[in-house]
Structure 1
Amino acid sequence: MKLVTINKEGKHVLGVKVEKCLIDLDEALKVSPNNQVHTNIMDVIAGGHKATTALENYIANLPTEENRTTYLKNEEEVEWGPCVTEPNKIICVGLNYRKHADETNSPYPEVPILFSKFNNALTGHKCEIAVPKVTQRLDYEVELGVVIGKEAKYVSKERALDYVFGYCTANDLSARDLQKRTNQWLLGKTCDDFSPIGPYLVTADEVGNPNNLQLKTFVNGEKRQDSNTSDMIFYVDEIVSYISQHMTLTPGDVILTGTPAGVIIGYPREKRVYLKPGDVITVEVEKLGTLTNRLIEEK
């Protein structure tokens, strides 16, 4: 199942992708009420299999003709929100692709390098992102996002994927000048809207093996990144297990698993042209959808 967040009238509304349209659950429930169906993405995540099954059954039994136009929305017409709206934690993994480590002349880490982002960084598909005045070196990073579905503490690698609700496409925008200012990367990673995720949160059963997915980035239509999650140094099961040894993961937590080669900072210095207002960045992950954002000047 592909779940989405629709921004409507100042609130987040749960949506579900069906064929080429989206079902607006808020409107659908006015046509066909059902108190077993959650209308908030965080509640669906926390509800797990029971919640997604109820949602699937509800959608399968919606009226096929009458009032369909009230709850079926064209993807081009909606205002998108982040596919996960209120994660308790956003945990990121640095230098997790072999070729990316190679291009930056960095040794392969012996354990996952972890840092965090905050909820202020969240935004959605097609949302404009203001380039902060404090950076001159804004970079893109396509990433596989992992969304936790069950509380996880001291989870083994063998069981780790059982705790994953689903996956999403993410762009770990990075202000390299701020990131490199100190040994801590936080400042350059968590400016406002620096973590667009979506458009879809795809349930794990539709994705299969997360360690064999193509990732791509385009800037103004030019391909910049083209790789596969198989190049990760630490796979998804290892990452989830490792993090759970040190902190409790809770439903809705988002893990960004690192970016492959092709980022601007990996270019020779004389060829580095950083992102600027007016640029359009599109990142995509196989099976998870394409996420596009346009950069604007900060007011």
Structure 2
Amino acid sequence: MEVIVKFGSFEKSGDRFIGIVDGDNVERIDGDIFNDEYNQTGDIYSISELKILPPVTPSSMLALAKNYGSHLQGESPPKQPEPFFKTISSISAHDQEIVIPRDSEKVDAESELVVVIGKLAKDVPQDKVFDYIFGYTCGNDVSARDWQKGDKSWWRAKSSDTFSPIGPFIETEIDPENLNITGKVNGDVVQSCNTSEMIWSIPKTVEFITKYVTLFPGDCIFTGTSGTAGQINPGDIVEIEIDGIGKLVNRCV
């Protein structure tokens, strides 16, 4: 089968479907992308005709804390990966609005590379991890800092509705270990890093997580953020761009 690079999820006139992204065009496919059991239908649309949806609907979603040295703010690096769960209900799509809770004093955007799992993964050794990954997308781990510091858990600080934008598409053929990530708020660069700066690599992270938690096709792992994240407020436009993957854009309300 031909090697496909980018996949996305779309809606047209209430009809939802998966498509292969080729420049500004999308070809509809039928079937299961994770098992390579799909057919190219020949139905081609312009992206401008379509509503872009979250590229996957995971059964679970995790994110890494403290995975870039520049984000530690004087703390010691963690002795192991520090994943936490984010709720599926917090997922939002490219061009979807991020709702800023009015009772939070400070909400930040976090620019992150997101790993998309491609097959059932349990007890995966480091040297086999990339065999279990379907692809990569852009993610924004939106974070209410006052709740993150004041609550006993991060349930609302990291998982309020719309706090997990992902997309716009999944890139399946890319080296994730040397990618530039840029975060902007209203056109101003607020974050800039390279995935080579991760404290815990993707293979080490997936090995650690799957020692305890089974991951399924479509599950997502946010791999951490760098530096000091940019504060966001209603009316702001957030852009997260990753080399070779694309740009995730959301407006805050």
> Deviation of residue 140 (structure 1)?
0.5
- Structure 1 runs of 4+ off > 4 angstroms? none
The runs of 5 or more residues in structure 2 that have no matched partner are: none
Q: Which residue of 1 aligns with 2:250?
A: 293
Bigger Cα Rg: 1
Q: Which residue of 1 aligns with 2:235?
A: 278
Distance 1:23 1:126 in 2: 21
2:87 corresponds to which letter in structure 1?
F
> Deviation of residue 72 (structure 1)?
3.0
Q: Which residue of 2 aligns with 1:217?
A: 183
* Aligned with 1:258 (options 224, 227, 236): 224
> Deviation of residue 284 (structure 1)?
1.1
- The answer to whether residue 64 in structure 2 is matched with residue 107 in structure 1 is no
> Deviation of residue 11 (structure 1)?
4.9
> Deviation of residue 131 (structure 1)?
1.3
Distance 2:152 2:159 in 1: 15
What is the number of equivalent residue pairs in this alignment?
249
2:51 corresponds to which letter in structure 1?
E
> Deviation of residue 212 (structure 1)?
0.8
Q: Which residue of 2 aligns with 1:249?
A: 215
2:10 corresponds to which letter in structure 1?
I
Distance 1:19 1:175 in 2: 35
Check the 8 A contact 1:147/1:167 in 2, yes or no: yes
Identical pairs, percent: 35
Check the 8 A contact 1:115/1:186 in 2, yes or no: no
Which secondary structure state, in structure 1, belongs to the residue aligned with residue 150 of structure 2?
Answer: coil
* Aligned with 1:82 (options 40, 54, 74): 54
More strand per residue: 1 or 2? 2
> Deviation of residue 144 (structure 1)?
0.7
More helix per residue: 1 or 2? 1
> Deviation of residue 177 (structure 1)?
1.0
* Aligned with 2:91 (options 122, 126, 135): 122
Which secondary structure state, in structure 2, belongs to the residue aligned with residue 159 of structure 1?
Answer: helix
Query: Structure 1 residues 237 and 137 mapped into 2: Cα distance closer, same or farther (>3 Å)?
Result: same
Distance 1:225 1:159 in 2: 31
* Aligned with 1:235 (options 201, 208, 230): 201
Which secondary structure state, in structure 1, belongs to the residue aligned with residue 147 of structure 2?
Answer: helix
Distance 2:153 2:83 in 1: 10
Equivalent runs, 1:112-151 vs 2, <5 Å: 112-151=81-120
1:14 corresponds to which letter in structure 2?
I
Check the 8 A contact 1:179/1:185 in 2, yes or no: yes
1:89 corresponds to which letter in structure 2?
S
Q: TM-score by structure 2 length? A: 0.93
* Aligned with 2:18 (options 14, 28, 33): 14
Check the 8 A contact 1:280/1:295 in 2, yes or no: yes
> Deviation of residue 167 (structure 1)?
0.7
> Deviation of residue 105 (structure 1)?
2.2
Give the root-mean-square deviation of aligned CA atoms.
Answer: 1.6
Which secondary structure state, in structure 1, belongs to the residue aligned with residue 49 of structure 2?
Answer: coil
Distance 2:80 2:154 in 1: 17
Q: Which residue of 2 aligns with 1:4?
A: 8
Q: TM-score by structure 1 length? A: 0.79
Q: Which residue of 2 aligns with 1:66?
A: none
Check the 8 A contact 1:226/1:262 in 2, yes or no: no
Which secondary structure state, in structure 2, belongs to the residue aligned with residue 147 of structure 1?
Answer: strand
Check the 8 A contact 1:214/1:226 in 2, yes or no: yes
Check the 8 A contact 2:12/2:49 in 1, yes or no: no
Q: Which residue of 2 aligns with 1:200?
A: 169
The superposition leaves residues 39-85 of structure 1 with CA deviations (integer Å, 9 ceiling, x where unpaired) of xxxx322x1xx33xx54xx36xx4xxxxxxxx433323321111112
